[in-house]
Amino acid sequence: MAGGQQHTANSDHENHGDHGSPKLYIIGYILSIVLTIIPLVLVLNHVMSGVPLVATITIMAILQFLIQLFFFMHITEGEKPAYHVMTLALGVIMVFTIVAGSAWIMTFNASVS
């Protein structure tokens, strides 16, 4: 009985697949650091201001989000990666709706006050 459970545990462990190589983790880590340092340098040195600065920071954040998904969370791996991508797309739509709705409400409230 205990051997059967042990076999099941080993089979479950083997079914999780490859979790990436250390090389991919290091590349993802370095890219994440670079994408964090670029906006920090832009803000601290006042290289840009206003809309271009916000756009640059947003682009860096989106790139870092994608790096986190592909290098650390292995979004394309697993038993059914298409479901992971669809779930992620639904989550992104929900987050975008919440953020855009909140920004719209704050803008409307600021113009009324």
- Report pLDDT digits (tens) over 39-61: 999 999 998 888 999 999 999 99
Query: Tell me, what DSSP letter sits at residue 58?
Result: H
What are the pLDDT digits (tens) for 93-107?
A: 999 999 999 989 998
> Which whole-number Å values give the CA distances from 68 to 15, 61, 71, in the listed order?
22, 10, 6
